[in-house]
Amino acid sequence: MNITILFDNYPYKEGLAPLDSKLLTGLETGWGFSCLLKGLEKTILFDTGADGRVLLSNMEKLGIEPKSIDTIFLSHEHWDHTGGLTTLLNKRSDYFIYLPKSFSTGFKSSVREYGAKIVDVDKSVEICKDAYSTGEMGVSLKEQSLIVKTAHGLIGITGCAHPGIVNILKKIKQLFTEEIYLIMGGFHLGGYSDKELKEIVKEFKTMGVMKTAPSHCSGDRCMKLFKEEYGDNFVELGVGINLSTDCTDFTE
């Protein structure tokens, strides 16, 4: 299995600042997050970023066609994770879309008008063999995260971690007995103090998380402290990076 970052506000190119509109590779950044999981029973698109044009442009440059996607998994209803959906549905509309049950009626109605099939997620559910939702988490804003079983352990993918990244880790530990190999995506920790961030890093270590890959809304300070603590087990994300399940093979 491998995971490709299709949309992120960070480029995977050393020396380029976040939010550069054009990368040297021709890929574009933008505020939001999306990644593609291949090699499972189904090819899963996790979130769609904020801008459909950017999403489809990056997909084209990476050789990924909309018809190759089997399932779309939406973490939560914020625009920077769902904004690219309608542009994608204009290319192909017969997707199964897994989204939290709490998504608005208006959002669901607009998606169904394209012919897509919605699967409301309340509790943890299997998406396909070795891929699962945590189920809805949170109070005022509900969010689901994706969990993937690999030979190395569990990979957890978060959109923005609004329910709290540590709470998501605890939920994964409740659902599965396997060790957590990697947690990646948005951790929503921008603006947290160093003391708070170090406590969160400590929680990761206590729960046995082997590798971390914060990006999107995690915050630069969060990423720096995780990198200091995890060293070689810190995985730097950005648009265009491809991660194999052992998180050692990266290609732009």
Residue with tokens 């093979």: 249
User: Where exactly are the structural domains of the chain?
Assistant: 2-251
Angle, helices 194-206 vs 165-175, to 10°: value is 10
Question: What residues contact residue 6 under an 8 Å CB cut-off, 6+ apart?
Answer: 34, 35, 36, 45, 49, 55, 58, 59, 62, 64, 239
Going residue by residue through the chain (252 aa), what tens digit of pLDDT does each one get? 899 999 999 987 654 444 444 555 689 999 999 999 999 999 999 999 999 999 999 999 999 999 999 999 999 999 999 999 999 999 999 999 999 999 999 999 999 999 999 999 999 999 999 999 999 999 989 999 999 999 999 999 999 999 999 999 999 999 999 999 999 999 999 989 999 999 999 999 999 999 999 999 999 999 999 999 999 999 989 998 888 865 555 443
- Residue 109: per-residue pLDDT: 96
- Residue 171: per-residue pLDDT: 98
- Partner residues linked to 35 by β-bridges: 5, 46
CATH domain 2-251 topology = Metallo-beta-lactamase; Chain A (3.60.15)
Q: What are phi and psi of 224, to 5 degrees?
A: -65, -45
pLDDT per position as a tens digit, 86-110: 999 999 999 999 999 999 999 999 9
